[in-house]
Homo-oligomer: A and B are copies of this chain.
């Protein structure tokens, strides 16, 4: 299985700006993509990062493509032999087990929904299927599968469903992963505290420098 991982090298994770500087966000985004690449490799699949700019990640090929996300992914799917998968770069909870369930699920199109109506990962076995990423892409991808006569199924995974966009997402990384992104957060002084039933992120800058990527 060929797995494409779109990655914004320049301005990733802008919604984390309340807690991280632009340099820190780039560094944290690279830690997250390292976790995704590692999980993909553990499944035996081949990861290719579709990068908007320069980046190097151990164990992954990199294909530079500065077009918008949707265009870059569709170009990659057009060139690839099917089945092929697309896995977002901001899924540091992902494990090889979760990806294997995605890759092995039946269906011409298999979708892993993300919180807030997005599509965090997918497998395509249908040559006419094209993605359209934006807020709420999950329902659109179901429609697009139907439009090209493809069967669509979903995979039920918390680890694939939690994408890290906002400060409130950071405790999930600390709670459920011990990978590169989790380590990055600990080194950056990010922790969590219990409030209103759900944990909330905190940051302590004492004696800490920004973690490098």
Contact = CB atoms under 8 A, between A and B. Distances in A.
Interface string A93-111: 0010110010000000000
Contacts of A116: 171-172, 197-199
A162 B172 CA distance: 13
B113 A195 contact: no
Q: What does DSSP make chain A's interface, helix, strand, loop or mixed?
A: mixed
A176 B135 contact: no
A148 B175 CA distance: 21
Nearest to A169: B115
Given A156-B158, A165-B198, 18 more contacts: A97-B156, A101-B156, A113-B175, A115-B172, A115-B198, A116-B172, A117-B171, A117-B194, A117-B198, A134-B194, A135-B195, A135-B196, A135-B198, A136-B192, A136-B194, A138-B175, A158-B160, A165-B197
